[in-house]
Structure 1
């Protein structure tokens, strides 16, 4: 039974309405009065649960459970009784409203409409993301700071990481639609700042707002699609926003080529400030329609009597509660130590090392100093830690988080500068390089609907995740071999195709696997954790990739060219340099060799980290995909479903136990053999002694 006893609860027990007081015995009231406020509210909740005291009963859409509402007048205080009551009230209230909205989406054409609206929204941010990555390279090149591309990527990833959990928790308080609109506004503001930036610092400032909006749109859209789909169909719904890549891969090259980004990158970015919001209108209208339909149901009418956190406790108390619920201190500390450690890695290189510069070394050291403070805060003081210990200690969650981190880490190591390598080192055109750099996304997107439909019958994810991780291993090996020269054209295309097939088999399925391991109330949390580690992986990957690039490339170019002036020009503005020094010239060939060497270092790191990627995939749980939104039969006090069988895990468990038993049997057999031999030796010695004694006796 879903309970919301926190609705309208206050401290004045003497004003209970008559329906409630009939069920409360005098002894229990005395116990409540002598307990602390927190224990008091928890006992009231338990009592309401046991006695089913309700003023209004609201049927839970996906289960047969009911919710109790108890009204107690308050004339003395407007403070919330406990933070726990407030959290359960608002979180469950929004989830129940979401479930009511999903329940009225009961026709097949309504589901098709929802998927189409998600497709249109995905088309907007997908095409923008495809080409903005390219435009960012031209923007940094126009500032003569092309090597700082990785710095921009690190800033983007850090902002994305720290905002994921905040979006998830706020969406449980204020609803998915409200947060979706906020994310769109941040997206537009960041885009406007970036298009008007005239130096790399202002461009990075715009990137902060843009990425805060971008990840918000992605995460909230993912949660909306998860709310409206069963576990069997979850992957199909989540793939819907990625399907525009089928089109974007081919038209993005034409767009970047026609837009002439060398001169017009500012307008090319700025036009998305009005294009993207237009693509979001269908999904917003769709959600408003479902909300309108749900509002006509009696269940929604009953929910109207439940006040929101702000209505019940006022602005001050709401802000205090949100401060703890969002773990603002933890978010600030995490963002600070990630930024302080990772950004200097991308700034310390260049035409000369800057590790002796206090402006670079100071933040780097400070980042490591902040890590223990962050850990201490999360363990001792955070009421709602960013990483709940009970949730992440299970292998079904921590293995998925490990994979999520490595996905983007490996991606950035292998592909952070892939577009530049294709232009400079493989002599691709702008159109061709744009298409090739998006090829893995194209392949994974083409395969995604067929794969997700197959899963509705197969209902197991772990075998495919293991296979996908193994294919990434193969693709990194191919990219290591084909990393420069005109002959690498076909090899890189083949590697990216393998990469795309591996991507569809495990990147999104890992998130669904994590969602399938927990209940609906924790779905937003595990999804946010997954994508937080995903973004942290991209931050670390961009930082390490950028560190190798900035600290090694200039020296290698100088070594190959032997001319310091040419080397500086080739390093700071590569796209301008190759216009003068075309393919086949000695200067261009020296540049190709330098890029081949650096890309070799990048792909070696990616290749090495594919080993733990495969290892984590073996540790996952293999929860069965069902027709429900989430598993609701999880034991009380537990966060993860541990009842589901895991055929692959059980197989390796049997192999491990068999090996252990064989080893034990071998040891026992060896001990037995040794004992037998010793007995034989003792028997032989006894006989020999008796024989000698008899000879002596005969002689005597």
Structure 2
């Protein structure tokens, strides 16, 4: 006999207990509704899809799915590592608009941050594979527009569309892996697709150099660099979608149960439209995207050239964005029938701590990373290739460390000590930066410090994500993952803004103090990379520039160290959650909303 639940409507009258069950899952069902009301299943379509799929997955099937994710993630990683070079070539050569480089980068950051909850919501309501196909379409469409763009506006529009697609693909990869992996194995499988991409740290520079030329002699070839991903990414996404689709086809009856009703009338098209409107929480999505989009936009560009905090448009964006954010919180708390993130989750201690860590860790990294590349060229006297690789060492080491920690967690079954260890290492690494990020630091000193920092990064980012997932119900898994990543990216933007503010308020004065020629000092601040070609190491101007950048890096390092120390203290507030072989904790799954903390203890 099949274990698949029957999808037929019951022939008996709906009991009060059954109605209460469904009413609790559907806030739109008001008290006093009769049995002929159409009642909805307790779990969303996307969650039911993955639960049915997970129950029948074999080892061979998992190998195909994880292998498909790894191949696709490798290509998308290569895309991200090379995209910055293509962006520089496009804005400088093809469109003669190099000043828009930071604006487009800021635009990408905004879309990356605010698109996470909407994508997660669509994946829950419409289904995982349907949302995955939509993201592949957006990715390809965006890059087609970019590769054929004849002006900077078309390029920016295509980039915005593409960011929605690639952000969605990475988010859905995280959600689907969480859907089918056990708690004790989740950390390893979450990082597994990223492992092949570590190769791109070392080869991406060679690829862009071979395509564009050593001095960008073939800069117009960026269109081919973008165009190849229009083919590669959709092609490698097909095996993932086929694997998911075949598995879901076997369990179609379990995924699509008929609505429970007492022979009530069928809903009209308008009623279905209204139902989808409330299910997707369109009002909440608009408030979220508008509010946080405005705030992140002004945070990322307010310290740049041509835009400042005191400008009228900056004040307007901050004011309107703040109002929309407050409106979003109030709407989700009191008005939304299906909130993007259930407020009951925000009463759990581990969830609260993880959100704080999602603010502190990327903010500290944003401060530390501010103008580090420029410092390497000016004060560190590194070549472009060497500077690029040094800045990537932490990412490379962090990925491998996270994979090792994934194996460790499988056996120790707890995440808290790993996260605390990560912050201890991060405080140590940032402290070393205070000592070694100065004028004249050697390549070995800079590389070793980045290596140490990578060990800390690998013990924080993905482990904290796994920790916040461990205390969430399966129904809330997509929402809580998207919420965590949204806060993470927003905090990174805030950290970069803090670092940019420190740099822009420190370097100009130091340049004026150390360089007697005020005109030359202004040039050294505005165009340091261009000026170092005229003044090699050992010349008075270059020494003054190195000193100014080295002293500013010390201030940035002290700020980052202080933030990391706060993160270490906060990490001790995590609960000791024992990871099991199930997708979610049984106690958490059975607990009533608002009582997850008691279930975990």
The TM-score bracket by the shorter chain reads: 0.7 to 0.9
Task: Decide which moves more: 165-174 or 326-335.
Answer: 326-335
1:467 shift after superposition: 0.7
Instruction: State the partner residue of 1:465.
Output: 419
Taking the TM superposition and a 5 Å limit, the aligned residue runs for 1:94-493 are 94-107=46-59, 109-133=60-84, 136=87, 152-192=104-144, 204-258=156-210, 259-260=212-213, 263=216, 267-268=221-222, 271-275=225-229, 278-296=232-250, 299-301=251-253, 303=255, 306=258, 313=267, 315-349=269-303, 354=308, 357-493=311-447
Unaligned runs of 5+ in 1: 10-16, 45-71, 73-80, 647-700
The yes-or-no answer on 1:642 pairing with 2:597 is yes
CA distance in 1, matches of 2:88, 2:581: 45
Query: Which position in structure 2 is the counterpart of 1:527?
Result: 481
Quote the offset at 1:114 in angstroms.
2.0
Q: Mean alpha-carbon deviation: is it higher for 428-437 or for 135-144? A: 135-144
Q: Secondary structure at the match of 1:580?
A: coil
Distance 1:364 1:271 in 2: 37
User: 1:314: how far off?
Assistant: 5.6
Cα displacement (A) at 1:517 = 0.9
Q: Is the 8 A contact 1:145 1:572 kept in 2?
A: no
Structure 1, 624-633 or 340-349: larger mean CA deviation: 340-349
Q: Does 1:499 align with 2:453?
A: yes
- Is the contact between residue 197 and residue 203 of structure 1 (CA under 8 Å) also seen in structure 2? yes
Structure 2: how far apart are the matches of 1:266 and 1:447? 38
> Cα gap change, 1:353/1:117 in structure 2, threshold over 3 Å: closer, same or farther?
closer
Superimposed CA distance per residue, residues 530-551 of structure 1 (whole angstroms, 9 cap, x where no aligned partner): 1111121122223323333445
Structure-2 residue corresponding to 1:607? 561
The Cα shift of 1:572 comes to 4.5
Structure 1 Cα separation of the partners of residues 97 and 436 of structure 2: 27
Query: Is the Cα contact below 8 Å between 2:471 and 2:600 reproduced in 1?
Result: no
Partner of 2:499: 545
Do the aligned partners of residues 605 and 204 (structure 1) sit closer, same or farther apart at CA in structure 2, a change above 3 Å counting? farther
The Cα shift of 1:268 comes to 3.6
Helix, strand or coil at the partner of 1:524: helix
Cα deviation digits, residues 498-519 of structure 1 (max 9, x gap): 1111122221111111111122
Instruction: Please say if residues 395 and 621 of structure 1, whose CA atoms lie closer than 8 Å, have aligned partners that are also in contact.
Output: yes
Tell me how far 1:491 sits from its aligned partner: 2.2
**1:348 to partner: Cα distance:** 4.5
Using a 3 Å threshold, how does the CA distance of structure 1 residues 398 and 4 change in structure 2: closer, same or farther? Answer: farther
Residue segments in structure 2 that go unaligned for 5+ positions in a row? none
Q: How far apart are residue 326 of structure 1 and its match? A: 3.3
Question: What SS does the aligned partner of 1:522 have?
Answer: helix
Which deviates more, 527-536 or 246-255?
246-255
Deviation per residue, 1:79-138 (Å, 9 max, x gap): xx57xx45x46x43332222232333213x332222221111111121222233455566
> Which protein has the larger Cα radius of gyration, Structure 1 or Structure 2?
1
- Aligned to 1:39, the other structure's residue is in SS state coil
SS in 1 for 2:185: helix
TM superposition shift of 1:332? 3.1
Residues 169, 524 of structure 1: 8 Å contact kept: yes
Distance of 1:569 and 1:141 partners within structure 2: 20
Per the TM alignment, residue 594 of structure 1 is displaced from its structure 2 partner at its CA by 2.9
**Which residue does 1:597 correspond to in 2?**
551
TM-score if structure 1 supplies the norm length?
0.73
CA distance in 1, matches of 2:292, 2:244: 40
CA–CA distance in 1 between the matches of 2:374 and 2:159?
Answer: 21
Separation of aligned partners in 2, 1:477 and 1:200 = 42
- SS of residue matched to 1:487: coil
Say whether the 8 Å CA contact 2:356–2:570 is kept in structure 1: yes
- Asked whether the equivalents of residues 222 and 238 of structure 1 are also in contact (C-alpha less than 8 Å), the reply is yes
> Considering only aligned residues, what root-mean-square deviation do their CA atoms show, in Å?
3.7
Are the counterparts in 2 of residues 120 and 280 from structure 1 also a CA contact under 8 Å? Answer: no
Q: Please list the CA deviations of residues 321-369 of structure 1 after superposition, one character each: whole Å capped at 9, or x if unmatched.
A: 3433333333333343434444445544567884554233433344344
Secondary structure (helix, strand or coil) at the match of 1:385 reads coil
**1:399 CA displacement:** 0.8
Aligned length: 582
- Determine the C-alpha separation between the residues in 2 that align with 1:178 and 1:283: 13
Q: Pick from 567, 578, 590 the counterpart of residue 624 of structure 1.
A: 578
Decide whether the 8 Å contact of 1:557 with 1:571 is kept in 2. yes
The C-alpha deviation readout for 1:457-489, integer Å capped at 9, x for no partner, is: 111111111110111111111223222434242
**Are residues 473 and 623 of structure 1, via their aligned partners in 2, closer, same or farther at CA, if it must alter by over 3 Å?**
same
Distance in 1 (CA, whole Å) between partners of 2:90 and 2:507 is 20
SS of 2:181's equivalent? coil
Q: What is the distance in 1 between the residues matched to 2:439 and 2:198?
A: 28
Are the structure 2 counterparts of residues 642 and 376 from structure 1 closer, same or farther at C-alpha, using a change threshold of 3 Å? Answer: closer
1:269, distance to aligned residue in structure 2 (A): 6.8
Distance 2:179 2:533 in 1: 51
* TM-score of the aligned structures, taking structure 2 as reference length: 0.84
The alpha-carbon deviation at position 554 of structure 1 amounts to: 4.3
Structure 1 residues 287 and 189, CA gap change in structure 2 (3 angstroms)? closer
State whether residues 469 and 613 of structure 1, in contact with CA within 8 Å, keep that contact through their aligned partners in structure 2: yes
Greater length-normalized contact order (CA 8 Å, ≥ 6 residues apart): 2
How far off is 1:149 after superposition? 6.0
Q: CA deviation at 1:574?
A: 4.0
Q: 1:39: how far off?
A: 2.0
